[in-house]
Structure 1
């Protein structure tokens, strides 16, 4: 494919001198990347169920010294459940809404994640990506807001923006997704249903698991794989939206096209992680359009890279990457960008 422009700047349109619009970006993508493939979607569901089942079987029969490996495997496979539910939330899994809702609720059930609450809040993130104090996914606190917080909240924010980033997803899950009173109208009813669905599921499953396997069985079969899942959720989401050169803008200066294309990060993970988590790391085309199913993201990313490659944000997962993020990307100043916490 021939590049549309030689060296496009983030604020320029690919086809004219006018400011770039999101529709300009979408026009560079072929129609086939938006097409849903029923076979690919359901085959991945079947494979994911088999892999999670394999992980639980391994936990049941393996000697104790293999348990850490199996916790990592099972928790990562459970993250694949989340990615399937993620597509359902964006209606890119199936054409029929009721199928997306059904599969989304079932995929989120082992994670005790209310589907509709997540769907609504996550779509808010996509609509307001990198908009200061409006985005709800790893948007950094401003210096002024941080300094206005009481000491305990400042301490908690420092931990989650530091070496305890892997707990961020748990805090986000617990704080935002179970209070249906923050929603209105039809959304409130949907969220209440999703909350009751997972709460009743947990009220049945957890006592049954403890009765059959004891407290250690609860820890071994659910809690530790769940913590691994949240490690990946926290890691994926902070890496998707955090780098020293990522720009956040106040409402009056925010630009949709620039935020979606140049404000998110593509990160390469080990192949086994990408396989089990269904390429959730291919994140830039997902922000250009949530209608792209997960199995078409790589093709869409390649096309975006051919046209805006020098400006796209790309990283490779490593401890050094996480050090850079957690050592430096703490607070945000509109004129200076990211800053470290004050000493």
Structure 2
């Protein structure tokens, strides 16, 4: 339930006669855990002014060295695994299969690292050259079957409206009414909704197919009533997700996808399905998983608000994100996308290798509004999936929406 907060005061200049006290209302709400959430009251100018100027510097050669590093890692892992696993395990099919799974997993880690570098390109954080950014980004994203310009345009709109209930582009939460209507359409869903097995099945579907469903149908994005799922696709050049001027860029994105499919077909013809399976298809599934895993947990949490049009500002929306910790992999292979995501939403042009310093700077401005969760991210995934099913309708009167659930976890919805 949303609640009005206590009055706070601050002193403002009143000329030579002294100071006056300006009364400020801090809007508050109750989060899923039962704690008080206070709406941020600083401005985007406050944030950007705190970031050291050197953090904005983009170094093309330093960025390219990360691309070369990740590609070299993928090629080395693929070559060693494909060439030597049959030699190391000549008689054990099970051991060989397990080794191939490890090979695909490791390629997937560095594959997602390449995806993140393409994401940097889409934000113009890779280099000072738009041509370089778009060329590198198009190649890297296309290889992992993500339409580069389509993603770039919709992702840009996501950044411009993060946490906005009607303008954000991804992971738009159900309202309580929408959630119950969806659940009640299926008796099986109604019976299973609160069970852990239902949560597990939902997570498996989300992690394996969530990205492709989003790209193909705009699932978890804005609804666009009256437009069929196919025509909301990231592959459709006149999709309402895009502007009319984007038409040929969407076509170019689709050409990149077709080029990847063609390359993989030629690879299969030359070396067989097994080589493509362990060196591209299974790593591609891992890249899909990591992208949904990371993005979902950056924007969904029991402490996380969403806002309506009257309450939302860019500064509030960017604060509706959370930094998490994925250890060595997060920092050194995933290029700090997990650990510095709050900063990324305030200024996406800052390259990842300067993001930790910039994050330290904005923490001083954000104070208690900066979110960080250091627990194991797999544990967080389960907790978030169980506790963040929808946002409560009753909170719309105050413009602040907090997550609730039907699993008897944390604060109960008012209508229950």
Normalised-by-shorter TM-score class: 0.7 to 0.9
1:163 equivalent in structure 2: 203
TM-score (norm 2): 0.73
TM-score (norm 1): 0.87
Please state how far the C-alpha of 1:306 moved relative to its aligned partner: 3.2
Please state how far the C-alpha of 1:78 moved relative to its aligned partner: 0.7
CA deviations over 1:106-134 (Å, ceiling 9, x no partner): 11122011110000000010001010132
Please state how far the C-alpha of 1:161 moved relative to its aligned partner: 9.3
Please state how far the C-alpha of 1:289 moved relative to its aligned partner: 0.6
Structure 1: tracts of 5 or more residues without a match: 1-8
1:339 equivalent in structure 2: 404
1:25 equivalent in structure 2: 47
CA deviations over 1:273-321 (Å, ceiling 9, x no partner): 4311111111011001111111111111111223334321111233321
From the two aligned structures, give the one with the greater strand fraction.
2
Q: Among residues 155, 165, 175, which one is paired with 1:142 in the alignment?
A: 175
Residues in 2 aligned to 1:61 and 1:293: alpha-carbon distance in whole angstroms: 37
Q: Quick one: structure 1 residues 177 and 337, their matched pair in 2 at CA, closer, same or farther if it must change by over 3 Å?
A: same
Q: How many aligned positions are there?
A: 329
Residues in 1 aligned to 2:307 and 2:200: alpha-carbon distance in whole angstroms: 22
Residues in 2 aligned to 1:41 and 1:144: alpha-carbon distance in whole angstroms: 46
2:80 equivalent in structure 1: 58
Residues in 2 aligned to 1:41 and 1:85: alpha-carbon distance in whole angstroms: 11
Residues in 2 aligned to 1:218 and 1:12: alpha-carbon distance in whole angstroms: 64
Residues in 1 aligned to 2:152 and 2:403: alpha-carbon distance in whole angstroms: 29
CA deviations over 1:78-122 (Å, ceiling 9, x no partner): 111111111110111111111111011111122011110000000
Please state how far the C-alpha of 1:38 moved relative to its aligned partner: 2.4
Q: Quick one: structure 1 residues 160 and 91, their matched pair in 2 at CA, closer, same or farther if it must change by over 3 Å?
A: farther
Native 8 Å contact 1:267 1:314 kept in 2: yes
Native 8 Å contact 1:161 1:330 kept in 2: no
Please state how far the C-alpha of 1:67 moved relative to its aligned partner: 1.6
Please state how far the C-alpha of 1:12 moved relative to its aligned partner: 11
1:3 equivalent in structure 2: none
Q: Among residues 21, 46, 60, which one is paired with 1:38 in the alignment?
A: 60
1:4 equivalent in structure 2: none
Please state how far the C-alpha of 1:159 moved relative to its aligned partner: 6.3
Structure 2: tracts of 5 or more residues without a match: 1-5, 14-21, 25-40, 86-95, 218-232, 396-400, 409-416
